[in-house]
């Protein structure tokens, strides 16, 4: 079978899938699973760059900035998804992590012709969310050269923003407009150019690491428990009650009382019980600890 010439890793033809149209369903599954097994190795090779990204984003958010994702197609959808999952997971304000996709909300379900080729569109959308030098702009372009992403990163950098890029091809063009670059060399897709596959999976893994790592550094967890909760619905109320009971070593009835006295704030309720202080004093301890529950519990009394 002849191969299509391409200088881009994301457009290369995978010899392992040259006869994919001759495979039965089990053969397809085995082929895809074997190729997907390469993704974790590619992500592992970028661990240091990912860790630097986490440290950078955490520092900027702690200083009052935001994380803004930029991407087109699958890359943009993954950024929007990661941003959308931060508030319900970590109780972050909706505007703390923002996902911008070329073509806007319509592009989440329908291809918007030409949107990814417009650097000016990224500038417009960054301007609309009032980007400032305090923010981190994270450009996702598996090809490493999407004009929408390049234009957005260049504009963000000109404003003094911290810029990070993610690509699935070596020596990506976006390296010229990004302060940090995460390169995931996942190899050619089983369907040539279909970067929703390995490239998309690798991107999702990295975004999971980026925001989860950032939120852990910002004190959104205690051990592996999600503790930055405010009980705003019945499901969260039950979860909060159980967590307070576990962490403060009290009954669920007492946990409910502590939560009610703390306006539904889980961390406040736990600190109030363990430190033996009223909720206002517990909030002060948490503020002094930068929102970290463990530090608030362990810090010395004045």
| Active site residues per annotation | 85, 116
Q: Which H or E run contains 97?
A: strand 97-101
**For tokens 């304000």, what's the residue?**
93
Indicate the angle between helix axes 279-288 and 266-275, nearest 10 degrees.
Answer: 100
Q: How far apart are CA 72 and CA 163, in angstroms?
A: 17
| DSSP 8-state assignment for residue 265 | B
Q: How far apart are CA 135 and CA 176, in angstroms?
A: 19
Could you tell me the sign of the dihedral formed by the alpha carbons of 264, 95, 160, 137, in that order? positive
Indicate the angle between helix axes 73-90 and 198-217, nearest 10 degrees.
Answer: 30
∠ CA 42-169-153, nearest 5°, is 110
Closest CA to 177 of 153, 146, 206: 153
**81, two tokens:** 């998804």
- How many Cα neighbours within 13 Å face the side chain of 230? 9
What lies within 8 Å, CB to CB, of 55 at 6+ separation is 217
Looking at the chain, which runs of residues are DSSP E strands?
67-71, 97-101, 136-140, 162-167, 180-183, 221-222, 225-226
């Amino acid at each position: 079978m002849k191969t299509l010439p391409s200088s881009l890793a994301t457009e290369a033809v995978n010899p392992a899938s040259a006869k994919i149209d001759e495979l039965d369903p089990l053969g397809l599954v085995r082929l895809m699973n074997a190729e997907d097994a390469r993704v974790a190795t590619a992500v592992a090779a970028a661990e240091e760059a990912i860790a630097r990204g986490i440290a950078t984003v955490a520092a900027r958010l702690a200083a009052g900035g935001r994380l803004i994702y930029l991407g087109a197609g699958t890359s943009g959808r993954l950024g929007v998804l990661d941003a959308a999952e931060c508030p319900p997971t970590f109780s972050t304000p909706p505007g703390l992590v923002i996902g911008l996709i070329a073509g806007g909300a319509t592009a989440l379900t329908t291809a918007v012709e030409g949107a990814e080729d417009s650097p000016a569109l990224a500038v417009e959308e960054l301007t609309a969310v009032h980007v400032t030098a305090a923010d981190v702009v994270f450009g996702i372009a598996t090809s490493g050269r999407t004009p929408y992403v390049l234009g957005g990163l260049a504009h963000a950098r000109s404003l003094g923003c911290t810029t990070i890029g993610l690509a699935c091809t070596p020596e990506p063009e976006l390296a010229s407009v990004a302060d940090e670059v995460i390169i995931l060399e996942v190899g050619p897709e089983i369907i040539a150019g279909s970067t929703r596959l390995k490239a998309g999976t690798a991107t999702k893994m990295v975004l999971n690491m980026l925001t989860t790592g950032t939120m852990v550094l910002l004190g959104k967890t205690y051990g592996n428990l999600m503790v930055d909760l405010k009980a705003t619905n019945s499901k969260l109320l039950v979860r909060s009650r159980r967590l307070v009971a576990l962490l403060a070593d009290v009954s669920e009835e007492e946990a409910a009382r502590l939560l009610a006295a703390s306006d539904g704030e889980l961390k406040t309720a736990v600190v109030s019980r363990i430190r033996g202080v009223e909720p206002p004093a517990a909030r002060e301890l948490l503020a002094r600890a930068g929102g970290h529950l463990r530090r608030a519990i362990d810090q010395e009394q004045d």
